[in-house]
Structure 1
C-alpha cells in the first residue's frame, strides 16, 4: 500500500511503515557470488576465456541480478538507482586499477637499486659487467633542463593566456588560439628537430668558434616548445572561470585593468594555473626524443647546461632499457621510479605553495 493509499484509508503514518525497505547486505553479497559462479561456469565451461573474462562477465550478471532483486525489494526506481550507483563505483575502480598497477610495478621493480651508489654516481667508466653505476648525472640533467624550460615557458604561457582572455579580440587573437591548438598536438620529436635545426646548427656556432654544440639548454628550449601550449590553454580556461563580478567590482572601485588582473584575477585562478603548469612539467620531464636530439646524452656528470652533452632521467631509462647488460633493467626501473617521485614531489610542493599564497585567500 502506497503512502497516499494509507493516508486515504486512515492508516497512521509511523516510522515503521514510512521507512522504505532496504536490500540486506548479505543478499547483495549473495548476488555477487552467484554472478561470479554463473560467469565462471559459462566462461570456463565453454573454454572461451580466462579469469579476466570471468570477472567482466560476472560484473554484468551482478548488475542484472541486482536490478531484478533490488527492484522486487526496494521498488523499480530504487533498484535502478542502486544498479547505476554500483556501475559508477565499478567504473571508478576500473579507472584506478591501471594507475595502481603502474605504481605497484614501479615500486616492486625499482626498489632494488634505491641505494647511495645509484643516487651518488654516474655511468662514466661503467662496463656491461659492472653492477654499479647510477643516475646522478641524469637527475642533474633533468632538474636543470626542466627548471630552465619552466622559467621560460611559465611567464610566456601565462602572459599569452592573459592576452587571449583579457585583451585579445579580432583576427590576431583567433590566429594565436589556432596556433596554440596546433602546437598542443605536435610530436615531441618535431620540437627536437626544430631546436636542432635552429639553435644547435645555426645559433650555437656563433658562441663556439663556428662549431655546432649540443647542450642541456638546447634541450630546455625544445621542452619549452612542448610546455607552452599546455600552459597557455590551461591558464586560459582557468582565467575564463573567474567570475565577471570580481572584475566589475574592481573596475567600479577605480582599479586599473592591469592591477585587477594582477591582484584579483590571477590569485583567484592560481590553483588551476598551478595544475596546468605541473601537467606541462610532468610532460617535459618524461620526454626522451628532444633530449636525445639536441643534448646528445652523456654518461658523465655535466653541471653546465650551456656547454657539452647532458643526459636526463627519461633518456637514461631509454638507454638502460635497451642495454644488453643484465644489470641495466634494474637501473632503468629505479630511474623511472625516481622520475615519478620527482614529479610527485614537485606537484605536491606547488600545490602547497599555491594554497598557502596569501593572495589566493
Structure 2
C-alpha cells in the first residue's frame, strides 16, 4: 500500500475561501435585495450559509466525521473572533479619540481655574489622586487578602472558615456605591471628625478604604484558587525534610502560586482604578492638585472622566477620552510590570 492510499483527502483552502465568498454574495443579494436589513444581517445570514455549504463540501470530500470536526472548529474560531472584536473596538475607539489631547499640558496641569471656554486644562490632579488612592488601597488589601486566603487553604477548618468563605463570596458582588456609602457613614462621618476638630472631612484615604473593601474579595478568592492548585507533593516534600508549615508556605507554596496571585491582584487593581462612585462619595473630587491623601478633597481619573463626559464645554469630551486612554494605559503598564516581576521570582 502506497502512502497516497492511506492519506485522507483534505478540502482545499481555495474551496473554503470560495464557499465563504459565495455565501456572502448570496446573503447580500437576499438581504439587501429584499430590503430585509443591513450589513449585520448580511454577515449573520452569510455565516449560516457558509457553515451549511462548508459542511456539504467537506462531507463530500473528507467524509462526515471530518466535516463535523471542521464545522466545530469553525464555530470555535468564530466565537474567539466575536470575543476579541469588542475589545479591539474599545481599544481602537480609545486610541483614535483619546489621542487628541495627548500633550504636555494635559499631563502637567489641572482643571483649577479652567472655564467652559478654555481649551487647556489637564488631568494631572486626577492622575496623582488615582496613583495615591489605588496605591494605598493595594498596600492594605493585598496583605489582608493573601493572608486570608492562606488561612482558608492551609489552616481554615470548621464553621469559622465556612463563615469567612461565605462572606467573601457575598462581598464579591457588592456594588461599589455600597462600599462608598459604608466608608462615608463609618469613616467620614464618625471617625474623621476625631482628627478634624469635630468636622467631617473628605479625603483620598477614605476613597482608598472604599477601594480596599472592593479589592479584598477578589484578592482572597483568586489567591485561594491559586494556592489550591499548588501540588500536594511540594508541601509533603518540604514537611518530610522537617520544614515547618509557615516556612513551607512562605518558601514553597507562595512562590509557586505567585503568577496567579499577581494576576488576581491586578484584576482587583484594575477594578479599583476604574471605580467612580466611592471616590465621588468620600473624596469629593477636586479641580486643584492635592498631594495629601489624608486631608482635603481629591479626584481620580475615573471621576475625572465622569465629570468631563457630562460637562457642557465643547473641549470636555476630548479630555474625557484622553483621561480614559490614560487610565487604561496606566493599568496596562502596572499589569505588565507586575507580571514581569512575578515571572522573575517564580519558583522553578
TM-score, scaled to structure 2: 0.99
Which moved further from structure 2: 247-256 or 328-337? 247-256
Give CA deviations for 1:127-161 in whole Å, capped at 9, x if unaligned. Answer: 00000000000000000000000000000000000
Structure 2 CA distance, aligned partners of 1:57 and 1:170? 56
| 8 Å contact from structure 1 (residues 354, 360) kept in 2 | no
Structure 2 CA distance, aligned partners of 1:16 and 1:230? 56
Larger Rg over CA atoms: 1
Match of 1:189 among 177, 200, 219: 177
Where in structure 2 are the equivalents of 1:92-111 lying within 5 Å? 92-111=80-99
Q: Which runs of 5+ in 1 are unaligned?
A: 1-12
1:224 matched to 2:206? no
1:130 matched to 2:139? no
Equivalence for 2:143: 155
Q: Which runs of 5+ in 2 are unaligned?
A: none
Give CA deviations for 1:30-49 in whole Å, capped at 9, x if unaligned. Answer: 11011111211222233221
Structure 1 CA distance, aligned partners of 2:251 and 2:198? 48
Deviation at 1:87, TM superposition (A): 1.1
Query: What root-mean-square deviation, in Å, do the aligned CA atoms of Structure 1 and Structure 2 show?
Result: 0.7
Where in structure 2 are the equivalents of 1:202-281 lying within 5 Å? 202-281=190-269
Match of 1:40 among 21, 28, 39: 28
Structure 1 CA distance, aligned partners of 2:137 and 2:44? 44
Structure 2 CA distance, aligned partners of 1:149 and 1:240? 26
Equivalence for 2:57: 69
Give CA deviations for 1:36-67 in whole Å, capped at 9, x if unaligned. Answer: 11211222233221101110111111111111
Deviation at 1:319, TM superposition (A): 0.1
User: What is the aligned length?
Assistant: 348
1:164 matched to 2:155? no
Equivalence for 1:356: 344
Which moved further from structure 2: 133-142 or 78-87? 78-87
What SS does the aligned partner of 2:37 have? Answer: coil
What SS does the aligned partner of 1:360 have? Answer: coil
Match of 1:324 among 301, 308, 312: 312
Structure 1 CA distance, aligned partners of 2:45 and 2:150? 50
TM-score, scaled to structure 1: 0.95
Structure 2 CA distance, aligned partners of 1:226 and 1:108? 31
Give CA deviations for 1:292-324 in whole Å, capped at 9, x if unaligned. Answer: 000000000000000000000000000000000
Match of 2:296 among 304, 308, 317: 308
